[in-house]
């Protein structure tokens, strides 16, 4: 597989944080549609058996030209890693499926982007946090912050493999919403 420099940079980043797997990335690169036009949708397209078993996916990712494209690709590739591990299994999207991708985006931003660029690119998430009354979103955001902070301090990526939707639901039941104050 012949890769462009920016693709190699993407792979090197996943190696740095310790979530690179050659088999997974070969699958992803064999199922990628490179988006060249900014008006085209960037997404993961999931294919199912009739029993909700995930049989595969296609990733529509931007051609990496700048930091914004790199962050989108990091997010999509991290989501693809999660999906790859669920191929041929019953698939239900869970809130925890967002924690790793967004943590990796934040780690990249902290390591490689200037303060102003981080603020510009990541500001939408901070805005959503301030507007949200959804405790699941707030808990996921807190986990992302903890994962990012820990990696920056120790160089070790803690992946929340043991944090399940049931845990989030249990926590939600014991928490107050912002509007309760």
Type and span of the H or E element at 123: helix 115-131
Same domain (yes/no): 64, 100: no
Same domain (yes/no): 87, 1: yes
pLDDT at residue number 168: 46
Q: Find the domain containing 135 and state its range.
A: 95-181
pLDDT at residue number 128: 57
Domain boundary, last residue among 41, 70, 93: 93
pLDDT at residue number 23: 92
Q: What is the mean pLDDT of each run of 10 residues along the chain (181 residues)?
A: 81 94 90 69 65 83 88 90 88 80 92 86 61 67 85 85 47 42 32
Same domain (yes/no): 15, 62: yes
pLDDT at residue number 171: 45
Same domain (yes/no): 74, 9: yes
Residue 78 CA neighbour count, 13 Å, CB half:
26
Same domain (yes/no): 86, 100: no
pTM over 0.85: no
**Interatomic CA distance for residues 59 and 165, integer angstroms:** 25
pLDDT at residue number 172: 44
pLDDT at residue number 132: 57
Same domain (yes/no): 153, 178: yes
């Amino acid at each position: 597989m012949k890769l462009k420099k920016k693709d190699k940079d993407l792979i090197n980043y996943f190696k740095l944080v310790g979530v690179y797997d050659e088999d997974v990335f070969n699958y992803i690169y064999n199922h990628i549609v490179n988006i060249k036009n900014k008006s085209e949708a960037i997404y993961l397209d999931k294919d199912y058996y009739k029993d909700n078993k995930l049989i595969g996916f296609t990733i529509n990712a931007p051609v990496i030209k700048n930091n914004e494209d790199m962050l989108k690709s990091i997010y999509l590739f991290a989501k693809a890693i999660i999906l790859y591990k669920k191929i041929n299994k019953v698939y239900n999207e869970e809130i925890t499926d967002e924690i790793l991708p967004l943590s990796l985006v934040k780690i990249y931003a902290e390591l490689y982007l200037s303060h102003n660029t981080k603020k510009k690119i990541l500001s939408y998430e901070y805005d959503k946090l301030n507007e949200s009354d959804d405790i699941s979103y707030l808990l996921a955001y807190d986990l992302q912050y903890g994962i990012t902070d820990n990696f920056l301090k120790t160089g070790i990526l803690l992946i929340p493999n043991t944090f399940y939707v049931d845990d989030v639901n249990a926590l939600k039941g014991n928490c107050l919403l912002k509007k309760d104050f």
